[in-house]
A and B are shown apart, each in its own frame.
Chain A
Amino acid sequence: MTQPLSSSRSTTPTLSVMIVDDESPARARLRDLLSDVAAEVPNAVVAEAANGLLAIEAIALNPVDVVLADIRMPRMDGVELARHVSRMERPPAVIFVTAYDTYAVQAFELNAIDYLVKPVRANRLAAALQKVRHSRPPPPQVLAELQQGARTHLSCHERGRLLLIPISDILYLKADLKYVTARTASREYLLDESLTHLEEEFSERFIRLHRSALVAKDAIAGFEKGAPEDGEHQWQALLRGIPEKLPVSRRQWPLVKNYARQLSS
């Protein structure tokens, strides 16, 4: 490779890039283009992934500087990928790549988020890579608005690592003083989220039992009457797979009962 030796360039370290797209021709195209612009913006493709989930696993093992992420992907889309990686200790910059998505493109323009449209052009790619070092990640609020539909995973930090919790594994979500706890069949996770937002986002999957608990609808095994309290019995939800019982508040009981009836009918 013939690289002109100029003082500014010799000091520019090589960007490590990850390509995330579910279509292999699209990844091949980006790889070609990245090597085309390598003279201008030194870069190296260190990893490729077919969806957001695989990408996060790969980044956890090998941190990268830049992620080129397609938006529409199976299992985990590009926007959700960006939301999770933005919480890493050393978050990579995410450049979105999209074929055609008027909604997302409008939002990118509005929030000055860098994006590329397919077919990607070499000079646009080079410009985006050059800006990457100075760009700040988009605020979580903006990414949350970009998300179409609910996330497939929640993420949390543990000992410096980012853990992903599949939504389908979560049995219930419970708000304690400061944190929200997500309970799966095997263990609990501490989340940095608000229960109200979670309830809004996952209203199809979870139902509220009382002020500080949401339970996955398909985790409910049944209901039973608990010990009397002030002369009244309080209902409790039994859960599949774990022995814990969750109390149902008097206020929520009619709603929950209604839902249980729908199930049994």
Chain B
Amino acid sequence: MASIKQNPARPPLPDFRNFGVMLRILLGVNSLALLAALLLAGGISDWVRRFVDLAAWVQPLLLFNLALLAGVSPLLRRLPVVGGRVCVFALAALSAALFVDFWQFMGMDEGGWQRTLRAALLAAFAAATLLYYFHLRAKAFSPAVTEARLQALTARIRPHFLFNSLNAVLSLIRSEPRRAETALEELAELFRALMRDHRDLMPLADEIALCRQYLDLEKLRLGDRLAVEWEIVDVPDDIKVPPLMLQPLLENAVYHGIEPSGEGGTVRIRFARSGDELQIDLANPCHGQASTHSGNQMALANIRERLALFYDLEARLETRSVELPGGACEYRVHILLPCRSRKP
């Protein structure tokens, strides 16, 4: 998708501390080893034996390199992209050479400079293949970032909400002009946030402020029907989260949980930190179709996709309907985020 704001910069090196990247490296190198074993093997039955032989060489080196890369990842990311790549090749090749040396010292390899060089070249080749894969992957995903941003602009706020809010503000102008002013200011700020660039993480405090504004506006028209409970436990101020991650979830909660009920209900929001993870829990009463409603599913898919773009496999979003003792039903969304500010 073409956009004026398309990122012209080359995709940077992968984040070697990311669990998803590590997993992909593990799988990638082992796939290469499987392929090599197939090439070396005389027949299919020989294949497994060959692979086991190879694995004994490959795995220790692979794990060592993963640890090494995770360790120096911040340094690598500070280098220019080409420099970073050369460093990765060099690290892989050097460590392979060192390992061959070590095995020779332990008497498990005959050694010799030719074998050392071969090991170094193979390791550099594996590193190059994987880096090329990550490069392609980053390229494939960058239009998706743009698209996600555009989606964020179009699918975020329901038109239903905009027109109902405008209508509520109009109703206030004659009777409570000051309150109408505040409401319009809030609406303006909400839309300013919606139209911002959505590619960078933003402070959690900002996202919470945005959500409060949104809920204020909803309260304007729903009155006592909407009750909100916030619980924020031990959450550091400097945590960053993907922008507009919570607001659409709250909008779903109000649209599916509060509006269809004549008596109204409570939306509960809870933030808590456990170790390196930020846990976010949202709960709202449910009325039958909430979980299967296509609008809800679309918003959830949208947020899942953005979480994957920001955190790869490290973030999770789960939803479930829970039967409460009183016979009522509650819809819950649970989000887990890695609790650190990630610099791309």
Contacts and interface: CB of A to CB of B under 8 A. Distances in A.
B170 interface: yes
Given A23-B168, A29-B171, A74-B260, 11 more contacts: A23-B164, A24-B223, A25-B167, A25-B172, A25-B220, A25-B221, A29-B168, A32-B174, A100-B158, A118-B163, A119-B163
Contact of B262 (A22, A29, A120): A22
A32 B171 contact: yes
Given A100-B160, A100-B163, A28 B260 contact: no
Contacts of B163: 99-100, 117-119
12 contacts: A23-B221, A25-B167, A25-B172, A26-B164, A72-B259, A99-B159, A99-B164, A100-B160, A100-B162, A118-B164, A119-B163, A149-B289
B217 to A, nearest CB: 11
Contacts of B221: 23, 25-26
A119 B158 contact: no
Interface residues of A, number: 21
A9 interface: no
Contacts of B167: 25-26, 29, 99, 118-120
Interface of A: 22-26, 28-29, 32, 50-51, 72, 74-75, 99-101, 117-120, 149
B114 interface: no
Nearest to B287: A74
Q: Identify the interface centre among B158, B171, B172, B223: most chain A CB within 10 Å of its CB.
A: B171
Contacts of A22: 259, 262
A28 B223 CA distance: 13
Contacts of B260: 74
A27 to B, nearest CB: 8
A74 B223 contact: no
A169 B242 CA distance: 47
B261 interface: yes
A24 B221 CA distance: 7
Contact of A25 (B158, B162, B168, B262): B168
Interface in B127-182: 158-160, 162-164, 166-168, 170-172, 174-175
Contacts of A25: 167-168, 171-172, 220-221
Interface residues of B, number: 23
A23 B259 CA distance: 9
A54 to B, nearest CB: 9
A32 B173 CA distance: 11
A50 B262 CA distance: 8
Interface string B211-242: 00000000011110000000000000000000
Contacts of B223: 23-24
Contacts of B175: 28
A165 to B, nearest CB: 19
Nearest to A70: B164
Contacts of A32: 171, 174
Max chain B C-beta neighbours (<10 A), residue from A24, A25, A119: A25
Contacts of B162: 100
A149 B221 CA distance: 25
Given A32-B174, A117-B163, A26 B168 contact: yes
A-B pairs, 6 with minimum CB distance: A29-B171, A25-B171, A25-B168, A99-B163, A100-B159, A74-B262
Contacts of B168: 23, 25-26, 29
A119 B170 contact: yes
A207 B120 CA distance: 71
Nearest to B175: A28
A75 B170 contact: no
A23 B163 CA distance: 13
A23 B158 CA distance: 17
Contacts of A50: 262
A51 B221 CA distance: 15
Contacts of A24: 223
A99 B222 contact: no
B169 to A, nearest CB: 8
A72 B260 CA distance: 8
A118 B164 CA distance: 7
Contacts of A75: 262
Contacts of B261: 74
Contacts of A28: 171, 175
B107 to A, nearest CB: 64
B12 to A, nearest CB: 41
Contacts of B158: 100
Nearest to A117: B163
Given A25-B220, A28-B175, A32-B174, A99 B262 contact: no
A50 B224 CA distance: 13
A29 B164 contact: no
Contacts of A118: 163-164, 166-167
Residue from B163, B166, B261 having most chain A Cβ neighbours under 10 A: B163
Nearest to B174: A32
A117 B162 CA distance: 12
Contacts of B160: 72, 99-101
